[in-house]
Structure 1
């Protein structure tokens, strides 16, 4: 007979302390941390949980990241669930890297009282999977043509798979859907091009976005800042290398 187990939040925090590639957090209605795991503390360069608890994302992250995370929190606290959001995060050495974020409201007596979430580092592709060589043909095609309008049906045909099979195997091998991997390739290219002098509109077009508005929306949702702000930051700091789909 099915039954419910109410796991205390403190137990969840202890459990996630053991996972170095996962950030775990619980926040109250003001977006303040009430729980966080050791991974989050270490990535923020904090030695004690007390340095994080009671603060908002804006107070503990660099502004360009904190503002974006806080906007996400507000959406979740209004009832939205965020699933499998591909994002650029700060890793332990302060280098940027890719992660998948999940956030959902915490309910009590039918009302939202906070939010709970995790961000999981994007792992290495499973190159031992039987479909890996065929999928890499698709990835190579994406890399060569990511500025074009790529159709999922054409990519599936290239791999000799149905669309459903392509989606399933991509998730298994890359932890991403084909569309997410294409977005990743486009954003990585945009981040490199933004260090040069080309206009933001032309960079967006070269990376396969319909117009500058679509480019700005996707870039901000993924990187946490607009292309214009990223260009200013990247010129003020030493450029970092992001891992590619082959890494």
Structure 2
């Protein structure tokens, strides 16, 4: 017989304290942290929860990041659910780490009173899976042709799988969909190319985006800042956060 258990938020926080590869947080209706786990504290360089709780992303992240993360929070506070959002989290040494972010509104009496979410570090591929060699052929093809119009049906044919099978096995082996893997490869390439002086429009085109605006939208959604801001960050190094939460 189904039944509900109301788990106290403090218990959730304590549970997520034990997971070093997961960032956990709860925020109120104004986007202020009410709970966070040790992973988030450490990645923000904070020693105590009190350094985070009661503050918004704008207050704990540099402005160019905090504003972007706050916009994501506002979408959730309006009732949107964010699931399986592929994101780059930047470490203080500017090395990127990939994560999947999930955010949901918290409801009381039908009204949104806050949000709860996690960001989970992307793990290593399951190279023991029976389809791993075939899927790596697909990944290699994506890497070589990510600047072109890559069709999922063609990738499925390359792997000798149906589209549904390709999607299912990709999630099992890489924790990503084929489209997310393609986006990951494109953004990684763009991040490298932005270290040089090529125009942003040319970089976007070289990475398979239809135009500069499409490139900018995807880059900002994934990295948390525009390509222009990312390039400026490389020319004027400073500490950057690891978690877009």
Equivalences for residues 72-83 of structure 1 within 5 A: 72-83=72-83
Partners of 2:47 and 2:221 in 1: CA distance: 29
Pairwise CA RMSD: 1.5
Partners of 2:92 and 2:209 in 1: CA distance: 31
Once the two structures are overlaid, the 10-residue window that deviates more, 95-104 or 182-191, is 95-104
State the 1:64 CA deviation: 2.6
Partners of 2:229 and 2:138 in 1: CA distance: 32
CA shift digits 1:125-148 (9 cap, x unpaired): 111111111000000000000000
Partner of 1:167: 167
Partner of 2:243: none
Answer whether contact 1:135 1:159 (CA < 8 A) is retained: yes
Partner of 1:107: 107
Give SS of 1:170's match: helix
Answer whether contact 1:43 1:92 (CA < 8 A) is retained: no
Give SS of 2:123's match: coil
State the 1:210 CA deviation: 0.5
Partners of 2:27 and 2:157 in 1: CA distance: 45
In the alignment, structure 1 residue 236 sits paired with structure 2 residue 242: no
Partner of 1:142: 142
CA shift digits 1:154-200 (9 cap, x unpaired): 00000011100100010011100000000000001011111111111
Partner of 1:41: 41
Answer whether contact 1:25 1:33 (CA < 8 A) is retained: yes
Answer whether contact 1:43 1:90 (CA < 8 A) is retained: no
CA shift digits 1:103-136 (9 cap, x unpaired): 0100001100000000000111111111111000
Partners of 2:51 and 2:22 in 1: CA distance: 19
Instruction: Point out where structure 1 has 5 or more consecutive residues left out of the alignment.
Output: 241-247
Partner of 1:245: none
Answer whether contact 1:84 1:101 (CA < 8 A) is retained: yes
Partners of 1:108 and 1:94 in 2: CA distance: 40
1:65/1:111 Cα in 2 relative to 1: closer, same or farther (>3 Å)? same
Instruction: Point out where structure 2 has 5 or more consecutive residues left out of the alignment.
Output: 241-245
State the 1:57 CA deviation: 0.8
The one of the two structures with greater contact order (alpha-carbon pairs below 8 A, sep at least 6) is: 2
State the 1:42 CA deviation: 0.6
The number of equivalent residue pairs is 239
Once the two structures are overlaid, the 10-residue window that deviates more, 61-70 or 143-152, is 61-70
Equivalences for residues 193-232 of structure 1 within 5 A: 193-232=193-232
Q: Under a length normalisation based on structure 1, what TM-score does the superposition of the two structures give? A: 0.94
Partners of 2:113 and 2:148 in 1: CA distance: 44
Partner of 1:15: 15
Partners of 1:93 and 1:236 in 2: CA distance: 13
